[in-house]
Amino acid sequence: MLAYAPAALLFLVFCVSVLRERRRFSNAVILGLAALCALGALLYRLVSSESPSVPYVVGALVALGAVALLVLVCFLFLNGVRMLRKEGRSPAHLLSLLASFAVLGVVALLVVAAVVRTPVLIGVAWAAGGLALYFSFLFLCFVCYAFLYGRLQVRRKADFVVVLGSGLIGGATVPPLLASRLKRGREVHERLSRRGGSPVLITSGGQGPDEKLPESHAMADHLVAEGFPADLIEREDRSRNTEENLRFSKEIMEAAKPGYRCVVVTNNYHAFRAALIARRVRIRGQVVGSPTAAYFWPNAMLREFVAILVDHRQSNAAMCVIIALGGVAAWWAS
C-alpha cells in the first residue's frame, strides 16, 4: 500500500485546497497529479506481481489507448466540421478541427522518428511528444475539475444573481446561448427567494460596436417579457468582456451592500474560467453554468482552455522551454 501514499497525500492536499478556495486552477493540477500517481502505483503493483497475465493486460491497455486515440481524433474532426457548418468559419470555431490535425501530426512524427531514427527527428519527436503530453495532461485536469466545479454546491443564501452577457443577434435580439443563461439565472433567483432571500438580478453586458443597445438592456427586456419583475433587475451596461462584467458588477454590489454574497451565472463550459476571473477580481461568490448545445461544448472547452493557458503564460512558457531543452538533449545524445 506504500505505493499509493503519494496519491493519497496529493488527494488530501486537493481536498484541503478545495475547502479553502475552490476557484483555483492549481486544484485541477493537484487532482490530476493524484490520479497520475494512483495509476502509476497500480501499474507498478501489476508489473511487480510477476503474474503470467501481465503481458496480456499491458497489451490490452496499449490497444485500448490506441483505439481511444483514434476515436478522439475522429470525434474532434467530426465536431470541427459540424462547428463550421453550424457556426461559420470563424477562427474560434476551428479549434476542434485543428486539435485533430495536431494529434495526427504528433503521432505521425513519432512513428517517422521511430522508423528513420535520425538525431534531428528524434530530438523533434521528443520535444513534440513532451509538449503533447504536457498540454493533454493539463486539458484533462481542466475538463475533470471543471466538471466537478459545476457540481459543487453554492451557498444557500445570496444577495445578488449576476448573469453574464454573451452578444446579441442582429444587434438587439437575445440568442439561445444567452437565453439559457437568463433561464438559469431566473431559476437560481427563484431558489434563493424560496429560501427566504430577496436577491437582485444583475444583467451584465455593455454595447458592442455592432449592437443597437447594451446587452444588459436586451437581457433585462427578455426577462421582463418572460414575466420576471422589472424592479428586481439591475443593469450593468459598461463591460466589454468577462473580467469587466465581474468588475463593474462588483462595484454595483458593493455600493448596495458592502458585505454581499452573489451567484454568477454563465454557460457550463465557461463557468470554471469565469470562477478563476471572479477570484482574481475578488468577487464574493461562486459561479454556476447553464446547459450548452452538445455540438458546441467541445470547441468551447478548447477555447476556454487556451484562454487559461494564456492567463498562466509565464509558467507554461517555462515548461515549454524545459521540454524543448529535453528534445535538444535527446538529439545530442543520439
Q: What is the tens place of the pLDDT at every residue in 63-120? A: 888 898 889 899 999 999 999 888 877 787 889 999 999 999 999 999 999 898 888 8
Confidence band for 38, pLDDT divided at 50, 70 and 90: very high
Residue 211's pLDDT is what? 84
| C-alpha cell belonging to residue 207 | 454595447
Residue 155 has pLDDT above 80, yes or no: no
How far is 214 from 228, CA to CA, in rounded Å?
19
pLDDT of 314 higher than 80:
yes
Nearest to 97 by CA among 252, 308, 302: 302
pLDDT mean over 13-42: 94
Q: For residue 142, what pLDDT is reported?
A: 96
- For 195-216, how does the pLDDT look when each residue is reduced to its tens digit (9 = 90+)? 877 899 999 999 988 888 999 9
Looking at residue 172, its pLDDT comes to 86
Reply yes or no on whether the pLDDT at 150 is more than 90: no
Q: What is the number of other CB atoms lying within 10 angstroms of the CB of residue 177?
A: 18
- 255, exposed or middle or buried, with CB in 10 Å at 0-12, 13-18, 19+? exposed
In this structure, the strands spanning 200-204 and 262-267 are unpaired
Share of the chain above pLDDT 70, in %: 99
> Could you tell me which of 201, 191, 195 has the C-alpha nearest to residue 224?
201
With 80 as the cut, is the pLDDT of residue 58 above it? no
The average confidence (pLDDT) of the chain is 91
Q: What pLDDT was estimated at residue 167?
A: 84
Under the banding of pLDDT at 50, 70 and 90, the label for residue 48 is confident
pLDDT confidence of residue 50:
73
Share of the chain above pLDDT 90, in %: 69
**pLDDT of 275 higher than 90:** yes
At 44, the pLDDT band (50, 70, 90 cuts) reads: confident
pLDDT of 127: 94
CA distances from 263 to 158, 250, 260, 308 (A): 7, 12, 10, 22
